[in-house]
Amino acid sequence: KQEVTQIPAALSVPEGENLVLNCSFTDSAIYNLQWFRQDPGKGLTSLLLIQSSQREQTSGRLNASLDKSSGRSTLYIAASQPGDSATYLCAVSGWVAGTALIFGKGTTLSVSS
Amino acid sequence: AAGVIQSPRHLIKEKRETATLKCYPIPRHDTVYWYQQGPGQDPQFLISFYEKMQSDKGSIPDRFSAQQFSDYHSELNMSSLELGDSALYFCASSTRNTEAFFGQGTRLTVV
């Protein structure tokens, strides 16, 4: 059974710092991995999708990498801003169409000004 | 761009009542997911549909059922509601090679 772990559970940084969020998964046979952002009481916003054949994806100040063989992904946030404060979740999908996205418990990020 | 639409956004029900949540996926998305998220919890997978057929099932109570209709919208039916069913319920849709997009959720409060 696929399990997804995110470390750290919480992170506080001053504005301007670069930071890395970690996601690991137990079964490397994933179809893709997706990073989401969630603000309190709100829906999940997709940040980046990495297909299993890809190594990384970039969007603005965000860069996500995937090492499928070691079961790891990282989300790198450059020059953090207070508006980046949110919970970041990673989720993996399997090869069978329509199977569940399996989520980690998330990393709650707080960026202070 | 069209997003995933969920209705209602908020719902208050009494114990033992029934609730129906609706989800309208992004056009041409072939997969719909339902998730439950309690306060401070990660999303818990309930059920999914691929091309209108149930494709995966998670920790969905027997009191809950779901279906996807010919127009691809989906409904989550919840009966004999309990206080512990109070949560945010999310619907998401995707295709095989695209991101999963989530709706804004339905906040269900059982009193």
Collapsed DSSP state (helix, strand, coil) of residue A84 = helix
From the CA of B30, how many Å to the nearest CA of chain A? 8
Of the candidates A82, A88, A10, A20, the one whose C-alpha atom is nearest the C-alpha of residue A56 is A20
Cross-chain residue pair A43–B49, CB shorter than 8 Å: no
**Interval B86-100: pLDDT, tens:** 999 999 999 987 899
For residue A98, give the nearest of B56, B105, B107 by CB distance.
Answer: B56
Helix (H) or strand (E) holding B85: none
User: Which of the pair, A35 or A1, is modelled with greater confidence?
Assistant: A35
**Interval A91-109: pLDDT, tens:** 999 888 888 999 999 999 9
Q: Which residues of B touch A104 (CB under 8 A)?
A: 42
Asked if pLDDT for residue B68 goes beyond 80, the answer is yes
Q: Which residues of B touch A51 (CB under 8 A)?
A: 97
For residue A109, give both structure tokens.
């990020």
Neighbours of B103 (CB within 10 A): 24
Instruction: Check if B86 contacts A (Cβ < 8 Å).
Output: no
Cross-chain residue pair A44–B102, CB shorter than 8 Å: yes
Cross-chain residue pair A99–B56, CB shorter than 8 Å: yes
